Amino acid sequence: EGITAGTGEAANKVVIVQGSAGAISWKRRELADGESWLVEDFHLGQTLNISITSTGTDPDNVDYAMIEIKLVKTDCASPADCPSSNTTCYNTECKAGICSYSAEPNCCGNSICERANGEHCNNCPNDCAQIAGDCFDLGWPLIGCTGVQMTSIDAGNMFNLKSKTDVTLYGFEIRTSSSDNPDHDTLAVEVYTKPDTWVGSEQDDKPWTQIMPRKLYQVPIREGCYRPL
């Protein structure tokens, strides 16, 4: 149409020419819808970016082309120019001189907690710990240096766990008082579980199932109070 009518060249494209009034002009590019042209170091080290964002015909039957022209600071000419730090689980692309990163699916480290892939706060804390309430500790408050105390005649430290939804236990933290006797600096720990309440089964081992075998832990010597093991 217009001055290009009948030429058959650059059909449905935008033609970019360079020149000045009364002088020879030169055709630099033909751009179709969605295409861009970059001119590196166009001004003060910045890149000229000319993009055709959309083309079509408006309701008045007038053909149009939406053109975006801007100066940008170029990050890259290829993906190899993009910073490689913190790109684990991300695909790196260089789009119109700008580094672009997209998350790889099913990869711990992509900032997405993918439950269907078996991720949770224990095996992928960087992704899943961002979810409020996903991981938390359950325990008794320690009042001074008392907490939950037992003696050698107790059957064990027992508690009931009730939840309104499914809960997965990933581990336990035990605390023990310090010892002033080097001959008694080892503590044996076993963990058992049973359905329903522990009440009534304190002295009966039949309903209980062992979930952690017997382990020996060193008791802190003269460090006072309680500490995680």
How confident is the model at residue 136, as a pLDDT? 66
User: What is the token pair recorded at 109?
Assistant: 């480290």
For tokens 């706060």, name the residue: 121
Spatial contact of 68 and 46, defined as CB atoms under 8 Å apart: no
In this prediction, residues 111-134 reach a mean pLDDT of 77
Q: Is the whole-model pTM more than 0.85?
A: no
Q: What is the pLDDT of residues 125-171, one digit of tens each?
A: 878 875 566 666 666 555 445 455 554 446 677 888 887 777 777 67
Residue 78 has pLDDT above 70, yes or no: yes
Closest CA to 186 of 148, 155, 220: 220
Q: What is the pLDDT of residue 144?
A: 47
Percent of the chain at pLDDT above 70?
Answer: 70
- First vs last Cα of the chain: how many Å apart? 82
Nearest residue to 182 via CA among 214, 133, 135, 222: 222
For residue 202, pLDDT over 90 is answered with: no
pLDDT band at residue 180 under the 50/70/90 scheme: low
* Whole-angstrom distance, CA of residue 157 vs CA of residue 138: 14
Across the chain, mean pLDDT equals: 76
What pLDDT does residue 185 have?
A: 65
Point out which residues pair with 155 in neighbouring strands.
none
Question: Which residues, at least 6 apart from 183, have a Cβ–Cβ distance to it below 8 Å?
Answer: none
Confidence of residue 41 (pLDDT cuts 50, 70, 90): confident
pLDDT for the residue numbered 178: 58
Residue 105 scores a pLDDT above 80: yes
Element containing residue 127 per DSSP (H, E)? helix 125-128
Q: Give the model's confidence band at 208: pLDDT under 50 very low, under 70 low, under 90 confident, else very high.
A: very high
| 63-72/90-95 β-pairing | unpaired
CA distance 53 to 35: 8
